[in-house]
Amino acid sequence: EMEDLEDSKDRVLLGAERKSMVISDEERRLSAYHEAGHAVAAHFTPECDPLHKVTIVPRGRALGLTFSMPEDDRHSYSKAYLQAQLVYAYGGRVAEEQIFGPEKITTGAGNDIERATALARRMVTEWGMSDIVGPMNVGDRGEEIFLGREIHERREVSEEMSRMVDDEVRKLLDDAYNRAAAVISEHQDKLHTLAKALLERETLDSDEINLVFTGKELPPLPEAESAAGDGPIDAAAAAESARKLRDAKGARIEQSLKPATSFESTRGEVRGS
C-alpha cells in the first residue's frame, strides 16, 4: 500500500512513467552519468537539500531525474543556498563533460542551464545578491513600474547596467560550474558507483543513495543478479537486469522536480538527460 501511495504521488508530481519508450544503451548510460552528476554535486555541496530519489526511468519530458527535498519548510532563501542550487544544476553537464569528453556533451542539460541562468539573473536583478549591482531592483527594458493606482512610468535600463547585470550573472554561473567540476572530479569514484547502480536498478531512493555515498553494499536485487559486475558497465546487460527488477518490484520511479531549484516551482520537470 505504501508503494502504491508513493507511485501515485510520483504520477501527480512528476508525470507518468514512459515505460514503453525505447532508449538506446548509449543514451541510457549517458542519462545515468548525467543524473549521477546532479546527485554527487548535491550530496557534496553542504547547502543543498538532501537527495530523495534519482532515476533514469523516463517521466514526462525527461529521460531521467534527480529529486531533492528540504528537511524543513522554507520561506526565504540565503545567497549560499541559491548558489548551491546553481552547483546542483550544473552537476549533470559537468559529469557528461568529464566522463564522455567536451565533444560529447548533449542537449540534456538544456533545461538545467535555462533554469540556472534564470535563477542567477533573479539573484542579481531582484534580490540584491551582487556586490557590483548592489541592493537594487533592475527591471527589464520597457518594464512598466506602477506607482499608485493611476500613475505609471517606464523604467529604461541603460546599456551599461545591462552589461553589468550580464557580467554578474555570468560570474555566478561560472563559479557554480567550476564548483561542480571540482566536486565531481574529487568524488568521481562515487559518480561511477552511482551510475553503475542506476543502470542496474533504474531508481535509487534516499537510503540507497546514502549507501552508495558511504561506500556500503546495496541490498541484493530481487529476481535478478547484478549485471554490471566489477568491470566496465555493460549497459545492455544492466538494462535487462533493471527490467527484471522493475517487473519484480512494480518499480517506484521518480524524477527530480527541479534540477537544482526545489526552492520554487519553476521547474516542473527536472531535466531531460
**Distance, first Cα to last Cα, the chain:** 31
From CA 239, how far away is CA 202, in angstroms rounded? 8
Neighbours of 89 (CB within 10 A): 33
Strand blocks (E) in 56-135: 65-68
CA distance 263 to 86: 12
Please tell me the number of Cα atoms within 13 Å of 265 on its side-chain side: 3
Indicate the pairing of strand 203-205 with strand 143-147.
Answer: unpaired
All cell numbers assigned to 224: 535478478
270 neighbors 62 (Cβ within 8 angstroms): yes
Residue 179's closest CA among 49, 89, 69, 270?
Answer: 89
The residues annotated with a catalytic role in the active site are 35
